[in-house]
Chain A
Amino acid sequence: MLSLKTATMAAFMAGTTLAVPAALAQDYPTRTIEVIHSYGPGGGTDRFIRAVGVPFEEISGQSMVPISIQGGGGMPAYANFQQRRVDGYTLMAISPDQIIAHVLGRIQMDSFQPLARVQYDQGMILVPESSPFQTIQDFMAHARENPGDLTVGITNAAGFDDTVMGLWNIETGAEVTTVPFGSSEMVSNTLGGQVDAMHEEYGPARGLIESGDMRPLVVFSDERLPVLPDVPTAVELGYDVTLGRWRAFAMPADADPAHVETLYGLVSEAVATDAYQQIQEQAALQYRSVLLGPDEFQAFIESEIEVYTRVLDALGLTD
């Protein structure tokens, strides 16, 4: 018992002395970087972090591991992130969900130091093969004549999909009803004709598009997708809807600026590697994923907050 106690003490003393050099920037990073995210293990964000993590480890010699803290609109993940020590070894993978939580007053975006926005996806409205709507014009004509009659499957209540469709309703002046599902039920309910259409990103939907089971009507981006040259963008139609799901890294607001700089350098190197680019292409995320550094990303976040506030206000979700 006594020997165990002394051993613990010794280890403990060693701990406090070793902790000091770790804080110096030139020796950074010297251990594993942990990236907290609020999605499931094996999900899109988890895979994104691992995909960056592989080249990151080759470049920096330190690994980068995802820590999944699911549920609660990202609140438990955020709480965990807030409680951790600011030592440069804890990042958070953020997405539009954090912007939404900020607008709903649950979290503060200024508690993040934006590091790098890496992926930027684009959503679409898709209808099943059996749908009477061939083009987005048919679809909108019906929506205008019968407000609220068309149902669009979305994933998660009061989340990103809801915001995109809310903005679409505002911009078009027509009204479609959103029905929140889990992501796989959304697809099956659309295929089965329970709802008229769904909102989904290109990557997960491309198998169904290729087989002809689903028809994309409109894509929410500035430019048409090279793989879908016939599908118009919302912007072309005169509706300014370009919101897309993005994936990014953030550090705590009071992170050491030297750490931010070092880490951004490592991340941008990792993202530029063929290994990462290949994985990104396999998930069909390459079309508008432009890497944004801390400052550009900060500006991007601010513009996002503006749009989301407008939409969520209109949906009656904010107080």
Chain B
Amino acid sequence: MLEAYGSAIAYLFGNPSSFLLIIFSVVWGIAFGSVPGLTGIVGVALLIPFTFVFDPTAGLLLLSGVYVGSTFGGSISAILFNTPGSPEAACTALDGYPMAKKGQAGKALGIALASSAIGGIFGTIVLMLLAPPMAQFALNFGPPEYFALAVLGITAISAIGGGSVLKGLVAGLLGLGIATVGLDPITGTERYTFGNLSLLTGISFVPAIIGTFALAEVLQRAGERTSTADVITDVSTKLPSMKEFLATRYTLLRSSSIGAFIGALPGVGATTAAFISYSEAVRWSKRPQDFGTGVAEGIAAPESANNSAVGGSMIPLLALGIPGSATTAVMLGGLTIHGIIPGPLLMETNTQLVYTVFIGMFIANILMLVFGIRAARYFALVLKAPYALVGPAIVVLCMTGVYALNSNIVDVGVMLAMGAFGFLLRKLKYPIASFVIGLVLGPIAERSLRQGLVISDYDYWDFVSRPITAVLLIASLVSLIYGFYGQWKRHQDAQAAKMAAG
């Protein structure tokens, strides 16, 4: 292993241009991530033709750097404009934007950046040290375990939102319901398309997220009476103080671990990791009712998890040749073009390639800190511009990004509809966080539940009695009840306080 790292370091120093490649890829990734609609997948896919001119190692360095950068980049626009630049960052907007609105844009960006780097480095270390055993362990996760994991994330909606519990549940169910539109994942039949074939794609996640967050925000801002008084003024990117940051250390550790593990599960990626770790942060918090109002944990959790998931999703790719996420699937295609056959033998036959990528990802995460601060500063300048120009520009960017992503005008329509819907939900105080969690985790829950039932021949007992599944499901149930109890208790306390005051 030491020898392998030796050859990797020798490669990097033998090809100084590879450092330039990493720099370029991280910057490209951050830029791509921050434009709404343009996801890391597109960023990686567009660079694949360029990897032809490099050797495979350089090519993979380039692609993994983009992956690292884009996962962070999305959080910049999520925090500054409530416009998640990439789906991975949707969760970051939940607390990042409220914090920025409170005049602490610098702090929010700083937490996001530092958490991203810590999560990213954590994920890379897990990848370096534990790739083969993690990949083997992840294989124990069949559909019942995926289902239980999704349920665990979904039940957190009982603890989210300081307002009405019932509204939180309805918002979550709305998300779950909307996610069922389109082709059925098991039978392939049409659901809720009402004969309209263009709805077969269903409500794609990226347009839905951009609609509910960004468009709803523009509408909201358009309605506000004073447009200039509410401008976010503090736009410097000072990192949060050590004390502020250390306060989130347990969240960081928990979220990074969740991220690395969920990333290692094939078929679920950084977005799911971000939401599940957000759910867990809410669940483990002493003050769950504050989430959504701009708390540090609410940014640290998703950002460390989604960047940690980047390293995690490289695990099945490099250890088994199975891509852990959509972006790594594109990378796998890129490797194939170079004549490298991804599979369990890759780590033995292409040692130098694999270990160079490990080191490269490490460096990319550190560079992300350096360039992230710069990128955030440039972006933050936009906050000084009048909203009369910025607001419409955000609409245009969202429309263009969503259209260019898939050339599908229906996606743009979906985005508009979800924008109006998100605006309505906000106005009526239905928590957006619950809605989005339902939207993200619903398809995983449904698909894996039904896959598991087909495999177990519709034996529900067989399904729930698997050890990991059972533990996760019991935990979900306990937390569901505890969540309700906590909300009920806070409600009672508030009533009592009101009585005492009145």
Contact = CB atoms under 8 A, between A and B. Distances in A.
A and B touch in the complex (CB under 8 A): yes
Interface string B178-204: 000011111111000000011111101
B45 A41 contact: yes
Given A208-B344, A210-B341, A47 B201 contact: no
B337 A282 contact: yes
Contacts of B343: 206-208, 210-211, 213
Contacts of A157: 183-188
A46 B139 CA distance: 29
Q: Which of A177, A203, A207 has the largest number of chain B CB atoms within 10 A? A: A207
B5 interface: no
B421 interface: no
A187 B266 contact: yes
Given A41-B45, A68-B407, A184 B186 contact: no
B197 A213 contact: no
Contact of A42 (B138, B140, B330, B454): B330
B200 A73 contact: yes
Interface size class of A (residues with CB under 8 A): 35 or more
B412 to A, nearest CB: 12
Interface string A176-193: 010111111101110111
B429 to A, nearest CB: 33
Interface in A97-145: 106
Contacts of B186: 157, 180
B321 A207 contact: yes
A158 B189 contact: yes
Interface string A22-53: 00000000000000100011111011001100
Nearest to A281: B339
Interface string B74-118: 000000000000000000000000000000000000000000000
A156 interface: yes
B344 A207 contact: yes
Interface stretch (A9-17, A75-83, A255-263, A296-304): A75-83
A207 B335 CA distance: 12
Nearest to A158: B188
B143 A40 contact: no
Contacts, number: 167
Contacts of B336: 47, 203, 282-283
A101 to B, nearest CB: 9
Interface string B124-143: 00000000000000111111
B70 to A, nearest CB: 13
Contacts of A179: 451, 454-455
Interface string B338-367: 110111111000000000000000000000
Interface string B315-329: 010001111101001
A188 B322 contact: yes
Contact of A184 (B141, B322, B339, B407): B322
Nearest to B313: A184
Nearest to A71: B201
B44 interface: yes
A194 B265 CA distance: 14
Nearest to B340: A282
B333 A43 contact: yes
B337 A191 contact: no
Nearest to A149: B457
Interface in B155-188: 182-188
A162 interface: yes
A71 B204 contact: yes
B183 A72 contact: yes
A211 B139 CA distance: 17
A279 B44 CA distance: 19
A151 interface: yes
Contacts of B189: 158
Contact of B143 (A71, A73, A189): A189
A117 to B, nearest CB: 21
7 contacts: A71-B408, A72-B183, A183-B329, A187-B320, A188-B266, A191-B320, A211-B345
Interface of A: 36, 40-44, 46-47, 50-51, 67-73, 75-76, 79-80, 106, 151, 156-159, 162, 177, 179-185, 187-189, 191-195, 203, 206-208, 210-211, 213, 279, 282-283, 317
Q: Which 5 pairs from chain A and chain B are nearest by CB?
A: A207-B343, A158-B188, A42-B330, A72-B200, A192-B139
